[in-house]
Amino acid sequence: MKTKTINKIVSTILLAGICEIGLAFVPPAVNLARAQQAANAATEPTPKVIEISAKKFEFSPSQITLKKGEPAILRLTSSDRVHGFMSKPLKIDTDIAAGKTTDIAVTPDSAGDFTVICDHYCGTGHGNMKMKVSVVE
Ligand SMILES: [Cu+2]
């Protein structure tokens, strides 16, 4: 009777141990998928960073070229006051505060020439404050 009880306890402990191993064990296929994901992330190109500065009443450079489907970061600064930076077809709309860097991510989905305008009134020349973004295939 006593031995039987001990045997039962021992087998319960063993069973619990096996379950724990079972939980910790990750099938190799899952591990492989994870490794593949990590490798893909590592080989994904880091977005190109393009610096654009704004001041009354121009953007510099006044023209940039992006590639369709390729992510880029536009690093925007203003040397005088707050300006806008807006292009509907490129899905860009932000303000550029003075003395601060504003990063915006853009991945153009169609080729062509697009105009970015300052949509934050900044003075008499505001209406002509724009730049061109050329998106190539
Ligand atoms: Cu403006």
pLDDT value of position 16:
46
pTM metric for this prediction: 0.68
pLDDT digits (tens, 9 = 90+) for 86-127: 999 999 999 999 999 999 999 999 999 999 999 999 999 999
Query: What are the backbone angles phi and psi of residue 93, rounded to the nearest 5°?
Result: -160, 105
How far away, in angstroms, is 96 Cα from ligand 1 center?
Answer: 10
How far away, in angstroms, is 77 Cα from ligand 1 center?
Answer: 14
pLDDT above 80 for 5: no
Distance from C-alpha of 97 to C-alpha of 100, rounded to nearest angstrom: 6
How far away, in angstroms, is 128 Cα from ligand 1 center?
Answer: 8
How far away, in angstroms, is 104 Cα from ligand 1 center?
Answer: 18
pLDDT digits (tens, 9 = 90+) for 34-54: 656 655 556 667 899 999 999
Percent of the chain with pLDDT strictly greater than 70: 68
pLDDT above 80 for 11: no
- Mean pLDDT, range 15-30, rounded to an integer: 49
Indicate the helix (H) or strand (E) that contains 39.
helix 28-43
Give the residue with greater pLDDT, 20 vs 59.
59
How far away, in angstroms, is 45 Cα from ligand 1 center?
Answer: 34
Planar angle of CA 49, 51, 52, nearest 5 degrees: 140
Query: What are the backbone angles phi and psi of residue 91, rounded to the nearest 5°?
Result: 60, 45
